[in-house]
Structure 1
Amino acid sequence: MFATKYEGIAALRSMDDLGKRTLDLQYIMMIFGVLSILVSLANFSICIWIRFDLDFWEWVLEIQWYTYWNATYIVMVAMVFFAFNSGLLVYGIFTESRLIILLTMILRCLIWIISFTGVVVICMYGVEESKWLHEELHEVFRGLVSRYDDDDRVSRIMKKIQEYVGCCGAGNNREDYFSMHKVFPFECRHPVTGNSYTINCPQGMSWYLEPWTATLSSISLFFCVTDFVVLYYSKQLRKNLLELEEN
């Protein structure tokens, strides 16, 4: 009799402990879910800023180079899906729906693939050390230099980029102008010292893009890492809710 009573009290205490652990886990995951929504929307907003920044928008259209925009689109889509999935997770935790939590786990795996792809692509075409970025921009700027004297729109945008970024020519700097028998533009010189810039435009453009790339990729990579933790705790929460339902 006493043993049965003791076992009943122990089982009751065990259920109380399980309920407390489950409630704590729900609070933690809900807070993280809300923060994830805010951060992912902030990252999405940065993508929107890059897309509609007036200076960069004009450069992209005039030089016909859309690669970086395309890279940000991947991050943009991933952040929209991530914000939606985080909101769905918060709702699933609030309603204690194991089915919704399971759905968010499946979606999280798919979104992880998109997010990681976005990180890889934007780092390929948005950092100084990227050979793909330099090779592509070298071809773009070399084509612009070749049309510098013949196309007023090309000369205008080259002047703006060189003056704004502080760069000159394509991969070979001012030698690109000399080798093509072009007039060496004043915008290739420092406005104070008068010395020509030692940075070529592919390198200068990569420096210009790098802060944006660092922000977008670091936030996306943070989500990729924390997704494993969220998946583990989501699985644990579903297990706890099932035990509470059965008892």
Structure 2
Amino acid sequence: MTPAIDVTTVESLTENIEERRAFVLTAHPDDSEFMCGGTVALLTAAGWTVDMLIATNGNKGTKDPRRTPQMLAAEREEEQREAARILGANEPIFLGFGDGALRADHELRGLVVRQLRRLRPMLVITWDGFRPGFNHRDHRYIGQATYDAIWPDTDDRLFFPDQIEEEGLEPHRPQMMLLAGATEPDIYVDIEPVLETKVRAVSAHVSQVGRTAEQLMQAWRERAKTEAASRGEDATDLPRYREAFRRIEWPRQPRRRPPLRTRRAR
């Protein structure tokens, strides 16, 4: 079994960074808490700035016929704000696409590129959009769009040049991406020290979870015992909780001076 590593090891892998800033991009409200809530809590506790982008409003995530899409979208947005507050992250960025309406197209890439250039994170966390048979297309599409936005769009002035020329943004390349939901993860973050914080953040999504933090924690602990017993392990020796990712790194680029803009002779 690959050993768990802690977030300080993740930090050491992003050598020479000038600002400890991470960016989490997900498809729905509650995705970030389930997939990397512990990692986010560890990062913010270590002094990192963490931003979150949620691509859809989650307006179809219910079986309750009394809830309209508009009601659910508003409710889930507030739940996401509370979850981000619990984890110590900044106010979430909502793109506002309808649930199930994402496409990994030019429009979505442009929106992601704009935020990457604006926020300039060194660490990016998103879904593994290339995992075969992933359970929700929105997960696949935000993962694919984020990967394609970083390589090569965000760092190239000729991609979405209006952001450079009209908005004053500059190219940027993060150092590392962590892909959640990967079938073959190669990095593990030990989240046991902040497990209760993660559980509180998950339980903030009342419309989806429907259980208190205490009930959720008990259920997770019981499941851990059951899984340990099924593997023939001592069920009293609970495994430490981890969040697993596939890691991708990009080489550091030297700072490049923007091209000189000369006035056209009259």
Q: Would you say same fold, with TM above 0.5?
A: no
TM-score, normalising length: structure 2: 0.27
Query: Greater Rg, structure 1 or structure 2?
Result: 1
Normalized per residue, the structure richer in helix is: 1
Normalized per residue, the structure richer in strand is: 2
TM-score, normalising length: structure 1: 0.28
